Amino acid sequence: MLTRRIIPCLDVKDGRVVKGVHFLNLRDAGDPVELGTRYSDDGADELVFLDITATIRSRKTIVELVQKVAENVFIPFTVGGGINSVEQMDELLRSGAEKCSVNTAAVKNPDILTQAAQRFGNQCVVLAIDARRSKTKAGHWQVTVKAGTEATDIDAVEWAVEGAKRGAGEILLTSMDADGTQKGYDIELTRAVADAVGIPVIASGGAGTLEHLYDAVVKGHAEAVLMASITHFESYTITQMKEYLRDRGIAVNL
């Protein structure tokens, strides 16, 4: 039976892992390779590295980071942040990343998903969606781009469905409302997307307690849960998370 995945997320800025609230007020959380290795040793199923600087200068840094991580960590990891071409994806995959996530670039040019899937297979293509609850339409979420700084009129659930159709093999779904609050994932959003697509959905944004992880899987129908604050600042170990889920009847890789 396929197990549910625990995925620590490392937001990288200027070569350091940082974590903020609602994508702001960043705190330093350590060295990316060191943290990644520690999580892998502690039983993480996967890692996600997001380059939140995403400038031309940081592009070179992130390739070097991917190479270094791949020499030290023998679990899959996804890289994202500012990726806007299939060539960039190729470079990151060849440097040792297992998957690449695209966000703004896919909104601007959805064809990048198809091109990437035909070249790398859709299992390498992660569509990252940063969604914010609509203030005008209840039960709807708007896609935001450019690290949450720019709202669009696109409906998050519809975009997830279209992204999957175009070639995404996984959705990394972040609630902008919940991100960094540690008050729980947006379960309604997670379930709406997970039930609408046939590909795996990673719930992201808001993890604060072990019960939040359980809720994302059982109520939100997420295949995987992503977290940052609660692992970086050592509220729980990965092993504790897995034991908790296992004891509540969820298949995990322990």
Partner 1 sequence: MLVVIDYNIGNVKSVCNAFDHLGCPVELSCDRRKIEAASALVLPGVAAFGFAVNALGSLGSVIKDLALAGKPLLGICVGFQMLFDKSSEFGTHNGLGLVSGDVVDIPPGRVIPHMGWNKVVLPNDMALFAGLGSEKHFYFAHSFYANVTDKSAKVAYTDYGFKLPASVQKGNVYGTQFHPEKSGQQGLQVLRNFAQIANGRGN
Annotated catalytic residue 177: no
Q: Which of 28, 45, 90, 130 is catalytic?
A: 130
Q: Is 120 in the site for partner 1 (CB under 8 A)?
A: yes
**Hey, which bits of 96-196 come out as E strands?**
99-102, 125-133, 141-145, 150-155, 170-175
**Hey, which bits of 40-105 come out as E strands?**
47-51, 77-80, 99-102
Residue 60 CB neighbour total at 10 angstroms? 9
Residue 112 CB neighbour total at 10 angstroms? 22
Task: Give yes or no for a contact between 133 and 102, defined as CB atoms under 8 angstroms apart.
Answer: no
Q: Is 87 in the site for partner 1 (CB under 8 A)?
A: no
Question: 55, 123, 239, 240: which one contacts partner 1 (CB under 8 A)?
Answer: 123
Question: 124, 207, 238, 245: which one contacts partner 1 (CB under 8 A)?
Answer: 124
Q: Is 166 in the site for partner 1 (CB under 8 A)?
A: no
Q: Is 1 in the site for partner 1 (CB under 8 A)?
A: yes
Cα angle at 6 between 164 and 217, to 5 degrees? 65
> Which of the stretches 48-56, 65-73, 104-112, 153-161 binds partner 1 when contact is defined by CB under 8 A?
65-73
Q: Is 119 in the site for partner 1 (CB under 8 A)?
A: yes
The nearer residue to partner 1, 200 or 205, going by C-beta atoms, is 200
Q: Which of 238, 217, 218 is nearest to 227 (CA)?
A: 238
Annotated catalytic residue 215: no
Burial 76-89 (b: 16+ CB within 10 A, else e): ebbbbbbbbebebb
Q: Is 74 in the site for partner 1 (CB under 8 A)?
A: yes
The nearer residue to partner 1, 77 or 185, going by C-beta atoms, is 77
Interacting residue ranges for partner 1, rule: CB under 8 A: 1-5, 40, 45-46, 67, 70-71, 74-76, 90, 93-99, 117-124, 169-170, 198-200, 223-224, 253
